[in-house]
Amino acid sequence: MRVGVVGLGIMGAPMARNLLRAGHRVVVHTRTPGPRLDAVVAAGATAVGSPGDVAAAVEAVVTVLPDSPDVERVVTGPEGVLAGGRPGLLAVDMSTIAPAVARRLAGVAAERGVTFLDAPVSGGEQGAVAGTLSIMVGGDAEGFRRAAPIFAALGTQAVHLGGPGQGQMTKLVNQVVGAVTLAAVAEGTLLARRAGLDPEAWVRAVGAGAAASWMLTEQAPRMQRRDFTPGFMVRLQQKDLRLALHAARELGVPLPATALVHELFAAVEAAGGGALGTQALLTALERLAAAGDA
């Protein structure tokens, strides 16, 4: 397929490379030219000047952007995807945005003859690089079928969850489960350190039982060696948790554990850690422990 990618950040750049490796012809645009763009172009992609230029050149456009306003601007702006795209275009937003925004964009796109899918992903930078993302898709069933070759290049699983916005709602559920699990891993890591447990041994032991999780096996070692390099940044996790808490309020669902984790991440942000990886949640607990020792 001729596939466009708008947004070449931590996730978008490796996703574009995986589309190239799968044999697709890839056209890209990013607001921030630099090494990632250069690497994707060197791998065979064509760079153009606007999202509309991308849409005019392809059968499907993938957007991978930070937040709802970014996606709205790129899709509906004067040089956006809908301005440049023809009827029959497939627009696949793989950002994490508000479900209500996804539903609204699907409606606006349909008026132009464009099929819009909300298809957020889970797996972080590691999954984007390896092509092992889990893809959660809302929107038209025929659009989901058309997008299958794209999803096959980017992930190991793509699940159609229902109509517009349901992919985003599923991603918010994912973020709630993931963030609360990460907090448990951070607490366990701090407790294990204070108890003098062998760092590798306790993760291996706990990871073989009922508390096993990706967060444990991947993030506890990073916490222990104090590697806070972002696979997914704290500030973006906070954006996702704000969306989840807002959706929960609208649905009348209590999320007390999620609200607590949101506040812990706020402490990391307040200490200047917004651009760190989410495993830096440990540092908020460390500061609380230090205060208790004082």
Summarised one tens digit per residue, pLDDT across range 35-46 is: 999 999 999 999
The model's pLDDT over 165-188, given as tens digits with 9 standing for 90+, comes to: 999 999 999 999 999 999 999 999
State residue 182 phi and psi, 5-degree precision: -60, -40
pLDDT, tens digit, 9 for 90 and up, residues 81-132: 999 999 999 999 999 999 999 999 999 999 999 999 999 999 999 999 999 9
Mean local confidence (pLDDT), 191-201: 98
DSSP conformation class of 85: P
Q: What is the pLDDT of residue 38?
A: 97
Q: How far apart are CA 15 and CA 10, in angstroms?
A: 9
Report residue 21's pLDDT band, with 50, 70 and 90 as the boundaries. very high
Q: Residues 139-158: what's their mean pLDDT? A: 98
What superfamily would CATH give domain 170-293?
Answer: N-(1-d-carboxylethyl)-l-norvaline Dehydrogenase; domain 2 (1.10.1040.10)
- 3-state DSSP assignment of residue 126: helix
Tens-place pLDDT, residues 231-265: 899 999 999 999 999 999 999 999 999 999 999 99
- The answer to whether 263 touches 237, Cβ cutoff 8 Å, is no
pLDDT of residue 294: 62
Does residue 80 carry a pLDDT above 90?
yes
- Which residue, 112, 116, 63, is CA-closest to 91? 116
Strand partners, 3: 26, 60
Q: In the structure encoding, which two tokens stand for residue 194, read together?
A: 């204070």
- Bridge partners (DSSP) of residue 75 are none
Among the options 29, 103, 160, 171, which is catalytic? 171
pTM, two decimals, is 0.94
- Token pair listed for 177: 């489960």
Check residue 293 and give its pLDDT. 77
The SS3 assignment for 197 reads coil
Task: Specify the residue for token string 């967060």.
Answer: 215
- 171 noted as active-site residue: yes
Give me the pLDDT at residue 202, please.
98
Q: Answer yes or no: are the C-beta atoms of 268 and 274 closer than 8 Å.
A: yes
Q: Which CATH superfamily is domain 2-162 in?
A: NAD(P)-binding Rossmann-like Domain (3.40.50.720)
Q: What is the mean pLDDT of the chain?
A: 97
Q: Are 206 and 191 in contact (CB under 8 A)?
A: no
Q: Please, what's the b/e burial string for 59-85 (b: 16 or more CB within 10 A of its CB; e: otherwise)?
A: bbbbbbbbbbebbbebbbeeebbbbbb
Residue type, 277: G
Return the closest-CA partner of residue 28 out of 74, 86, 87, 83. Answer: 74
Q: What distance in Å separates the CA atoms of residue 206 and residue 210, rounded to the nearest whole number?
A: 8
Q: Are 279 and 187 in contact (CB under 8 A)?
A: no
Give the containing element (helix H, strand E) for 127. helix 124-130
CATH 3.40.50.720 occupies which residues in the chain?
A: 2-162
CA distance 102 to 98: 7
Please, what's the largest Cα pairwise distance for the chain?
65
Query: Residues 37, 27: contact at Cβ < 8 Å?
Result: no
Average pLDDT on 68-85 reads 98
The CATH 1.10.1040.10 portion of the chain extends over 170-293
292 pLDDT tier (thresholds 50, 70, 90) = confident
